[in-house]
Amino acid sequence: MFQHLLLPVDGSPLSESAFRQGIAFAHDAGAHVTALRVIPNFRTYAYQVEMLAGTHELYTREATRVAEDYLDTMAAEATAADVACDTVAVIHDHPYEAIIRTALAKGCDLIVMASHGRRGLQGVLIGSETQKVLTHSSIPVLVYR
């Protein structure tokens, strides 16, 4: 039924648990997966532009390297479970948009992701990326809680 799963991970234990559940699901379905790490965009405030020289480039380079190293460990877990795994690291202001765009670009037919369960005022103020993906995605989403 499902042939290509997108597994977004943010480094939290809950997202890693959802990743492992997605790997088990993919193994049983004979599907392959793409692991995605969304890197927050560089943000800083300074009153002198000279203070920022090189900082954005350094941040981008280092954040991408850290994300790719992390994704390599996730891909190794998938490979150990006999599941083919691609990895993608993207810099984006809105993780839910990056998740949906990556799923569409990679031809994924299911997104498997965790929900941190933010509710009430915290949910309103911080927002739930999972809820945003559920709201805006035309691709089915399996939520692991």
Tens-digit pLDDT profile for residues 77-100? 999 999 999 999 999 999 999 999
pLDDT digits (tens, 9 = 90+) for 11-48: 999 999 999 999 999 999 999 999 999 999 887 665 56
Half-sphere exposure of 93 (CA within 13 A, CB side): 1
State whether the Cα torsion 55-13-100-7 is positive or negative.
Answer: positive
- Choose the weakest-confidence range: 21-25, 95-99, 113-117, 140-144: 113-117
Q: Which of 19, 12, 2 is nearest to 113 (CA)?
A: 19
pTM, 2 dp:
0.88
Name residue 140's amino acid: P
Superfamily of segment(s) 4-144: HUPs (3.40.50.620)
